[in-house]
Chain A
Amino acid sequence: MVFSSIFFIFIFLPVTLALYYLVPVKLRDVVLLLMSLVFYAWGEPVYVILMVLSIMFNYVMGLQIDLRQETGNADRARFFLIAAVAVDLGLLGIFKYYGFIVENLNHIPFINIPEHQLGLPIGISFYTFQTLSYIIDVYRKKIKAQRSILLLGVYITMFPQLIAGPIVQYGDIERQLYDRNISREHFAEGVRIFIKGLAKKVLLANEAGRVFDILSGGSTDELSVLSAWMIAVAFTFQIYFDFSGYSDMAIGLGKMLGFDFKINFDHPYMSTSATEFWRRWHISLGSWFRDYVYIPLGGSFCPPKRHIFNMMVVWMLTGLWHGASWNFVFWGLYYGILLTFEKYVLFKNPERHYPSVLLHVYAMLAAMIGWVFFSITDMSKAFRIIGIMFGGGAHPLTDNAGLYYLMSMSLLWAVMIIASTDTFSMLEKKLEERNTRPAVYVTAAFYSLLLLASLADLVNDTYNPFLYFRF
């Protein structure tokens, strides 16, 4: 089930909210857990069992680790930690990476492992990372183990963030499991943020995605320079509005239920470096890798050689997390190299200043080239497209397809550019500060229009896949 569907908005959400608020307060968590399981089972009627078993397993492991820590039995605590992490990562490995690993091992002579195509359980990358953060933080004594399997279940399965993030760390939400912000204003704010995310996904991401699919679908033999750039631009907008829209919807839904999730995207395309980009892009994933991989490896407080090694490990894993395919590994390493370059070369001397325009252009180009590798699974094709973008080979400067999608969508491209900056949020803030009636009405009318236009789009297409389901 995706949020951007008529079914979710008109059936699942109203039913869930009605039950959630009509049942006695004591039963709210039961409702939330059950409805989250229904939400998951709706798309994965079989793998929901896997998820329930995973919750039970991690519940027991969390309690065990906590108990051993309390009794000072560090070895036993460590044993349970390793067992839990091994099982969680093992499941992720089997379901997400088995095919990829086998396929690559089979390239080695005399190795011939039969390939099985296992269906990827929706959201396994997201909920595995959440359970890992829980288990590891219990071991680190940052948090107490959750004694109620109901509340642990609520934390892991909560439908707003279950299948595409944000990756909520247990520590960030522990208090809210007991004490939620249930208020009309909070709920209403959630509705507004949900509409914002829905509009991003439906009105912007889908339009950009359409252009990307059309232009990148064919061969690169006759691709024009313009079309190559349009491929990069279209995907750059598609992935941003798709994913940040999804996060907005998740945050909005969280608020409707009384939860506050941290923001996941902070205008990443306004960055002046790749390093800054990753502080603004998919923040919950970046924090996770920082807290559970990068810092444990030693982070940056170690000799440069070791630090560079740490960076490469983290970024290779970040790439691999996005999908079981070499282009994602490459994309991760690409960022590892860029960030190392920025730390040790570009910004080594803090005295040295560059014109900010130049830095914006650099960061944007870096992101766009990255997205080409990310979006085109066939790496040699990705290299060809990038080559054409920068004038490689004898390709025409423009062609009809490129011109058509540039010109006919010029207004939408302009909106996407502006919506990638903080212009809209600044404007909204200004209107809010003014707090006059017209300002309030204008904002409300704008959001209502967004909702209507998005609904019209949802009625129109039954085919509406979410990009991030693969991960």
Chain B
Amino acid sequence: MKGFDLIREQVKNKVRAVPGPESGDDGREHEPWGKNRIIATIASVLIVLLLVVSVILPDRDFSDRENRVLMKFPHFSMAAVRDGSFMSSFETYVTDQFPLRDAWISFRTAFRSTAGVYDSNGVFRGNDGYLFEDAFCPDEQTLNDRMYVINTFAANSGLPVYTLIAPNASDILTDRLPRYAPLRDQDEDFDLMYSMMGEGVTNVDVRPALRGADEMGTQVYYRTDHHWTTRGAGCAFAQFAESAGLNAAAFNRTYLPVTDSFSGTLSAKSGFDIKKDTIHVITDDSGVDYVVEYKDEQAAHKTACLYEDDKLDTGDKYAMFFGGNHSEVDIETTADSNRRILVIKDSYANSFVPFMIPYYSDIIMVDPRYFTGDIYSLIRDNGITEVLFLYNANTFFEDNFITGILNTAG
């Protein structure tokens, strides 16, 4: 028996001792493949297969999941080769157009989640399906300059000026943050900002209202998106109404769900896809009618609707509110009021402004990131009676355009 083993061992060694590379296949039909051959075959087949698929599949223009335009085949020129931009574009092109790109990203997220990593691309996965992004750290000097401009604007215009800076979800839903999540304490930033606010500015602090509503079980932020929900905006509006002397309870509002499959920016950014969100729109019993006029240079048009429901078929479902951000949107209403408000804003206002309709005869929304006109003549020409700065804290701390439009003239 022992001798037999020995012979077998020798035969085995002999077979192994002859690698028989290029001619290998003939004589080794009975020798099963080793790990190297199996691994190399799997890898080669995978690579060739994916390569063939990527050649066959047409290029995609846009990634819904990432909400961005994907790189197309780069334009070839000697100049682009010399400075290397052709090469880097080409690499991006290949990666962007990789077959099953979204599936790969999901696989990566799943893989990392299994390994216990709660964050991905700067987004943290909290409890109950909530995703959080970090708060932007304001530069004290820049913030001071911005507040100075707003204070001066308030003093010079002589109009009532309100500021409503919405906190991030991480500042409100603290009990749903992942354990030890190293997110910035935004309350400190709020304290700093409030300390810089001038006398002529009425500050609307919506944090207590949002916290209170959250404690009562109202969903004030989307799980998958960085915006507040329509109900969150409603809470903030109630707070604003109190400051601005509006009777929030004068009308009854109904929240109507328009989609329950909303997967927002945070989900797209991180790849975490745990729960979907529901988007609501509101109607009220005020009976006030309105005309919405979009004043973008390219796509100026009028409509009688606050919502663009074809956006619900895209990845950017939050854009259904006013169809996203525009340089200037003018809403004229039949409200029995002589108050006319200018809202200088970011996208947080898009779900907020519908609450204001029955209270103002004219609401003009201006997004400083796109607006190129003169804010002072706009105020004059439209007989504006009050101004609201409505921003999410992240945009407000980061965005320098506000200073720009307030400084254009004086």
Contacts and interface: CB of A to CB of B under 8 A. Distances in A.
A422 interface: no
Contacts of A304: none
A399 B37 CA distance: 49
B82 interface: yes
Nearest to B111: A453
Nearest to A450: B39
B69 interface: no
A456 interface: yes
B400 to A, nearest CB: 22
B21 A400 contact: no
Given A45-B83, A183-B22, A448-B39, A407 B179 contact: yes
A440 B38 contact: yes
A409 B180 CA distance: 12
Contact of B40 (A7, A192, A400, A404): A192
Contacts of B271: 460
A401 interface: yes
Interface in B167-193: 178-182
Contact of B95 (A5, A14, A448): A5
Contact of B182 (A400, A410, A459, A462): A400
Contacts of A384: none
B107 interface: yes
Contacts of A14: 47-48, 51
Contacts of A412: 115-117
B39 A444 contact: yes
B42 interface: yes
Given A10-B51, A188-B40, A191-B36, A400 B104 contact: no
A43 interface: yes
B82 A444 contact: no
Contact of A6 (B81, B83, B95, B118): B95
Interface residues of A, number: 58
Interface in B79-107: 81-84, 87, 90-92, 94-96, 98, 101, 104-105, 107
Interface string B13-39: 000000111101000000011111111
Given A14-B47, A408-B119, A410-B116, A447 B98 contact: no
A458 B105 contact: no
Interface string A297-335: 000000000000000000000000000000000000000
Contacts of B35: 192, 432, 440, 443-444, 447
Interface string A381-411: 0000000000000000001110111011111
A441 B104 CA distance: 24
A432 to B, nearest CB: 7
Most buried by A among B43, B47, B111: B43
A411 B38 contact: no
Say which size band chain B's interface belongs to. Answer: 35 or more
A120 interface: no
Nearest to B119: A408
Given A186-B21, A460-B271, A400 B181 contact: yes
Interface in A170-188: 181-188
* Overall SS of chain A's interface: helix
Contacts, number: 153
B407 interface: no
Contacts of A188: 34, 36-37, 39-41
Contacts of B36: 185, 188-189, 191-192
Contacts of B95: 5-7, 458-459, 462
Contact of A409 (B42, B117, B178): B117
A451 B117 contact: no
B302 interface: no
Nearest to A447: B39
Most buried by B among A6, A44, A405: A6
Contacts of B20: 183
A182 B21 contact: yes
Contacts of B48: 14
Contacts of B22: 182-184
A10 B40 contact: no
B50 interface: yes
B94 A10 contact: yes
Contact of A9 (B47, B87, B115): B47
Given A448-B42, A456-B108, 14 more contacts: A7-B95, A10-B50, A14-B48, A186-B19, A195-B39, A195-B43, A403-B180, A404-B180, A404-B181, A412-B115, A444-B38, A444-B39, A448-B43, A456-B105
Q: Lowest 8 CB-CB distances: which A-B pairs, in order? A: A183-B21, A188-B40, A401-B182, A188-B36, A456-B108, A191-B40, A404-B180, A444-B38
27 contacts: A7-B95, A9-B47, A10-B50, A42-B87, A43-B87, A184-B21, A185-B19, A185-B21, A185-B24, A187-B40, A188-B41, A190-B40, A191-B40, A195-B39, A404-B178, A404-B180, A404-B182, A405-B182, A408-B119, A409-B116, A412-B116, A432-B35, A440-B33, A448-B39, A456-B108, A460-B271, A462-B95
Interface of B: 19-22, 24, 32-44, 46-48, 50-51, 54, 81-84, 87, 90-92, 94-96, 98, 101, 104-105, 107-108, 111, 115-119, 178-182, 271
Interface of A: 1, 5-7, 9-11, 14, 42-46, 181-192, 195, 207, 214, 399-401, 403-405, 407-412, 432, 437, 440-441, 443-444, 447-448, 451-453, 455-460, 462
